[in-house]
Structure 1
């Protein structure tokens, strides 16, 4: 373990079989796991870690294929079930905990949804950022009306290594220069084919079939998205309440785009803290 003397952030590793997973840890208290998306890394949650480490044990892994985590070969190594879900469980096991609140952005949100459905005992509270429920995300991809919004997905499913911009270009969405350089460095460590493996392993080519019956999410669920997100249609969130059998809140953030953990960092941190600290009785219906 390495500790940054300025931030107090710990650099740790977990293992899922032969895959080594790097994660950042900080603070003590009830655990919260933050799962990043594309193109990002664990320290993309820096502002949330700094805001919450005084009250919580905050864990932010580099997803496999990103940053300092391993990049196993083959697109099948990036399937949500079981690979990516098991990675999260490996981080929990490395910390000696069996349950945590889980916050996910983009692909991290997809992992969080599936974790809550398939391993419900591991999730205490669920927070999704820019991540519709998988059923409605796939339906949005199928909708011809959204072709201009989601055509990047089909580009990412093309020839390996031929379509990704440079790390500096991929990091250009980060406004803060130091954080942008940190992300660019993490993306230089990342494997391009591994990052694209998320799109190739989990989104079918051609017409996307309906994924059929899925378990309802049973934990209190907060969904936040930017009203100006250029990558995910707002209509993809319309069916959220039918997928959760518990108190559910869907919040659109005016003026924000896809990367709301940066663009509305303070708001996101406060909402996460409020959601995970609400007493269980306040989530139960009256009567």
Structure 2
């Protein structure tokens, strides 16, 4: 299956987008998280395209070849989610299925909450609804302790220096240690390190975290109408399971799948289970 790579105008920003499959068939939007890239979904892009879907995987702002605005405020959730709406509009897609991991999952929660009319179903991996996360950061000391790095990232420049030290050695080791059921793919980590170094993109990627404090949007009082399947690693070192349960309480139709012995990367650690789930969820 051929993957097409193109730069598109998505509202006021240019984004690099990978697509596969014929247009006009059911669309699926894949949103990567930190610190990955659109091609981190490669196996799933090919899988879905081969099963009759038009797949769209944007490199989100600040990442890879996509534009990298300079202000922290340019990475507010309102901007990140509107990028995806513009991507869908570019491909003349009125309604799509949605898959997101980590920050891509966070954007996914925002999209199905604020723009529910644009999505059929959502498969979300390893991140809670933003209001649930905000509440736990403030009121749950154990989650705040797990999220220490988010507070550390708020400092300028120092996080970039630490992350990039020795060709991202310690950062890469931290990624490896947060996977349990299967090793984080070494080939993917090598490709990511090369991209971080060549594109000098780490500051812009970290600005997603720095803009968290500017999120003003409140969730509508009614429950989320888009059916949600939330996948969580039981051994995720960053996020407590209680946040997943609280997030699903905001949904009209929610399904929770807890993967035992799985860390923060279900799409790498549980490829067979995730592939089967995607196809069954979206109607194959």
Normalising by structure 1, we get a TM-score of 0.86
- Gaps (5+ residues) in structure 2? 177-183
Alpha-carbon separation, structure 1, partners of 2:113 and 2:34: 22
Please point out which of 36, 59, 63 is paired with 1:62.
59
Residues 24, 168 of structure 1: alpha-carbon distance in 2 compared, 3 angstrom cutoff: farther
The correspondence of residues 155-174 of structure 1 with structure 2, limited to 5 A, is 155-160=152-157, 162-163=159-160, 164-166=162-164, 168-169=168-169, 170-171=171-172, 173=175
Q: Secondary structure at the match of 1:229?
A: coil
Q: Secondary structure at the match of 1:44?
A: helix
Please point out which of 200, 206, 217 is paired with 1:196.
206
Please point out which of 71, 78, 92 is paired with 1:74.
71
Aligned length: 267
Please point out which of 233, 241, 245 is paired with 2:240.
233
- Gaps (5+ residues) in structure 1? 1-6, 279-287
Per the alignment, residue 260 of structure 2 pairs with: 254
Per the alignment, residue 121 of structure 1 pairs with: 117
Please point out which of 99, 104, 107 is paired with 2:103.
107
Q: Secondary structure at the match of 1:47?
A: helix
CA contact (8 A) 2:230 2:255 kept: yes
Deviation at 1:179, TM superposition (A): 2.2
Please point out which of 134, 145, 149 is paired with 2:146.
149
Question: Over aligned residues, Cα RMSD in angstroms?
Answer: 2.2
Residues 11-44 of structure 1 show CA distances to partners (whole Å, capped at 9, x for unaligned) of: 0222234411001111133110010111110011
Alpha-carbon separation, structure 1, partners of 2:218 and 2:95: 27
Alpha-carbon separation, structure 2, partners of 1:212 and 1:95: 28
Deviation at 1:162, TM superposition (A): 3.7
4+ residue segments displaced more than 3 Å: 160-164, 167-175, 208-215
2:22 equivalent to 1:15: no
Residues 102, 171 of structure 1: alpha-carbon distance in 2 compared, 3 angstrom cutoff: farther
Alpha-carbon separation, structure 1, partners of 2:70 and 2:248: 37
CA contact (8 A) 1:135 1:210 kept: no
Residues 215, 190 of structure 1: alpha-carbon distance in 2 compared, 3 angstrom cutoff: farther
Alpha-carbon separation, structure 2, partners of 1:22 and 1:49: 15
Deviation at 1:240, TM superposition (A): 2.6
